[in-house]
Structure formats: C-alpha cells, structure tokens
Amino acid sequence: MVWKITDETFETITEEVILSIDGISLRAPQGQSLLMAARHHGFDIPTLCHHSDLPSEGNCRLCLVEIGEHPRTRLVNSCTYPVEAGLLVQTASEKVLQGRRMVLELLLARCPKAKIVQDLAAQMGIYESRFKTDDPEELCILCGLCVRACREVVGVSAISMAHRTPGKLVATPFLEAAEACIGCGSCAFICPTGVIPYTEKDGVRTIWGRDFPLQPCNVCGNFIAPTAQLEHWAKITGDPVEHYFVCKDCR
Ligand code: SF4
C-alpha cells in the first residue's frame, strides 16, 4: 500500500485520536503515519527511504514497528501505516529488533560498502551479514527516493525502477541518456548512499549520461543551475525565463 499523505499534508487532518506507543498514551492526528506520530513524540525509529516531502512507500522496511495486542501482534512499516484510535504500537520490542536486524543484514549483504548501512547496522551490533553478496561494489539500496523525488517534486520522471528483483535497478528509459532529465541533481542530492554519479566541471553538470551547461547569473556571472532546469521552472511558473537568469544574491 502506498500511503499518499506526506508530512506536510497531514496538517489538513484535524481529528486527533489517542493511541499507545511503547506503553505511553498520546495524541496524534488520525491518518498521520505511525512513523511521523512516533517521531513527533520523540521516539527514535530508523529509516532509509523516508523523506518528509515525499509520499512514503515502505521500501527499506527499517521503520517496522509491532502493532496489536499480545499474542495477536504483527509487524508493519510505520511510514505507511496510519494512526488509528486505540492502536497499541511498540517501536523497540524484541520482535521489532529481530526484524530490523534481519533487514539490516539483508541491506548489508546487498550493499556491503554503503556507509549509511554500515553505520545503522553497527548501531545494532551487526558488522557482517550471513547472506550472500552478489556485487560487493553495489551501493544502491533500492530505496526509491531518487525516483520519487524526480517524479513527485521535480515532475519530470526521468528515471524509474527497471526490471524485477534480483536485477532491479534505477535506470533511465532503455538505459540511454535521460531525455527528460533537466540536470537538477535532485536524485543525487536525495540519495542516501551517494551512488548516483554527478560531476560539475567548466560550467557543465554531467548526470545520467548527459551534459547540462550551467547558466551564469546575468549580474555577477556565478553559475546558478543548469539552463534546462531554469527553463523548466519558468515553464511551470509561467514566469519569463530571464527572471531565473539572475541569482538570488543579485535580485
Ligand atoms: S540510487 Fe540512491 S536514492 Fe535511488 S534507489 Fe538507489 S539508493 Fe535510493
């Protein structure tokens, strides 16, 4: 299930309900994700695929929590499970910690060199995985943040998830230079493992197999952003593109 309510929009949900997190009764807006409700009240739940500006998809499964009453409890992704009145939630039960260790071992097997995965695993005392590593150089944890940022925030869908597991990967259409890409770099900035190659040299940004000339500010001459990105903003806002050819310091 994709829970479409982001952290920003939950404010529109006004009805608050009472639920219990780790034995503490508290109020939270009905429909808000358990992750946001728990974090709002100071509970620490790790996640690698959550971003406050994007709808949650529960891809990394690190944020799992246990819901229900003993013995009928189950693990759910807290980022996609909505707050309900009377819900009993545990964020650090033995069942949760076991599940989270398993997820971290799987992530570590997939991306043994990903620093963020190593750090999270080490916090739980895990330094190696019992599962097989297919590619020791792999750094993509398939969290989907880059794809969602490109689609939901930038609005161009230049990249997507291609193929099925085990060959699943983030890719441009037909694995060719991304035609729809505007060179904004949102995917590279949001990527938790820094795996998306991105360079800037001599006024040119290179990403996803394409070179994007950077637009100099019409006043100070400093580079602002790729011209294609500024043209994209102008198209969305309806402002004259020249408006974006002056950097914010010179406006
Ligand atoms: S490239 Fe980065 S942001 Fe995209 S799915 Fe892989 S790890 Fe996540």
**Range 229-243 average pLDDT:** 96
Computed over every residue of the chain, the mean pLDDT equals: 93
**CATH number, position 111:** 3.10.20.740
CB 36 within 8 A of CB 7: yes
Q: Examine the domain organization and report whether 32 and 79 are in the same domain.
A: yes
Residues 6+ apart with CB under 8 A from 23: none
Distance 91 CA to ligand 1 centre (A): 26
Q: Is residue 14 pLDDT above 80, yes or no?
A: no
Q: Is residue 89 pLDDT above 70, yes or no?
A: yes
Answer with the one of 65, 92, 123 that is the final residue of a domain: 123
Domain that holds residue 106: 9-123
Q: Examine the domain organization and report whether 13 and 117 are in the same domain.
A: yes
Which protein residues touch ligand 1 with a CB less than 6 Å away? 140-146, 170, 190-193, 195-196
Q: Examine the domain organization and report whether 119 and 149 are in the same domain.
A: no
Q: Which pair of structure tokens corresponds to residue 143? A: 């969290």
The rounded distance, in Å, linking the Cα atoms of 167 and 14 is 43
Among 48, 135, 140, name the best residue to mutate to test ligand 1's pocket (greatest count of ligand atoms within 8 A of Cβ): 140
Question: Which residue carries 């441009």 as its tokens?
Answer: 172
Q: Amino acid identity of 239? A: D
pLDDT of residue 6: 54
CA distances in angstroms from 69 to 37, 72, 99, 171, 183, listed in the order given: 19, 6, 18, 42, 49
Distance 63 CA to ligand 1 centre (A): 17
**Residues listed for the chain:** 251
Write the residue with the smallest CA distance to atom 6 of ligand 1: 140
Exposed e or buried b per residue across 123-158, where buried means at least 16 C-beta atoms within 10 angstroms of its C-beta: eeebeebeeeeeeeebbbbbbbbbbbbbbeebebeb
**Range 145-154 average pLDDT:** 96
Query: Measured from the CA of 161, which atom of ligand 1 is nearest?
Result: 5
Write the residue with the smallest CA distance to atom 8 of ligand 1: 143
Q: Examine the domain organization and report whether 19 and 86 are in the same domain.
A: yes
Q: Examine the domain organization and report whether 203 and 173 are in the same domain.
A: yes
Distance 17 CA to ligand 1 centre (A): 35
Q: Examine the domain organization and report whether 152 and 239 are in the same domain.
A: yes
Cα-Cα-Cα-Cα dihedral sign, residues 40, 79, 155, 197: positive
Assigned domain for 118 exists: yes
Q: Examine the domain organization and report whether 78 and 152 are in the same domain.
A: no
Q: Is residue 3 pLDDT above 90, yes or no?
A: no
Q: Examine the domain organization and report whether 50 and 85 are in the same domain.
A: yes
Three-state DSSP at 78 gives coil
CB 143 within 8 A of CB 136: no
The rounded distance, in Å, linking the Cα atoms of 6 and 105 is 29
Distance 114 CA to ligand 1 centre (A): 11
Q: Examine the domain organization and report whether 53 and 156 are in the same domain.
A: no
- Residues pairing with 17 in the sheet: 28
Write the residue with the smallest CA distance to atom 4 of ligand 1: 146
Number of domains observed in the structure of the chain: 2
CB 119 within 8 A of CB 96: no
**Range 117-124 average pLDDT:** 98
The rounded distance, in Å, linking the Cα atoms of 32 and 82 is 5
Assigned domain for 95 exists: yes
Assigned domain for 240 exists: yes
More confident residue, 142 or 179: 142
pLDDT of residue 204: 98
The rounded distance, in Å, linking the Cα atoms of 143 and 169 is 10
The rounded distance, in Å, linking the Cα atoms of 71 and 54 is 34
Distance 151 CA to ligand 1 centre (A): 14
**Range 11-34 average pLDDT:** 89
Three-state DSSP at 198 gives strand
pLDDT of residue 7: 55
Answer with the one of 123, 155, 173 that is the final residue of a domain: 123
Rounded to two decimals, the pTM is 0.89
Q: Is residue 4 pLDDT above 50, yes or no?
A: no
CB 204 within 8 A of CB 226: no
